């Protein structure tokens, strides 16, 4: 991945592997493996993401997925 932005809708829905996600956040993959199990991982990922996106890890698929809010408003917005 050459930029921190998602390159396609396919990539968005298929999620990012560890190397792609680490590159997006500008951290080492080894740091990610230590952070992913922390209870505040989703909040932390949002602060680390260049676009302020919150992420979750799907252990079964071993991929990182953006937490998307489809429709409605996010907390604090009107």
* Residues 35 and 25: beta-carbon distance below 8 Å: no
| Residue with token string 């989703």 | 42
pLDDT tens by residue, 47-78: 999 989 999 999 999 999 999 865 544 454 44
Task: Give pLDDT, residue 27.
Answer: 95
Task: Give pLDDT, residue 59.
Answer: 93
pLDDT tens by residue, 6-44: 566 666 788 999 999 999 999 999 999 899 999 999 999
Task: Give pLDDT, residue 71.
Answer: 52
């Amino acid at each position: 991945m050459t930029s921190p932005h998602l390159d396609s809708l396919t990539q968005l829905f298929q999620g990012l592997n560890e190397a792609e996600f680490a590159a997006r956040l500008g951290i080492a993959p080894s740091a990610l493996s230590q952070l992913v199990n922390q209870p505040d991982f989703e909040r932390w990922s949002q602060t680390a993401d260049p676009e302020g996106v919150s992420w979750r890890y799907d252990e079964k698929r071993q991929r990182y997925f953006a937490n998307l809010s489809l429709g409605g408003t996010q907390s604090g917005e009107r």
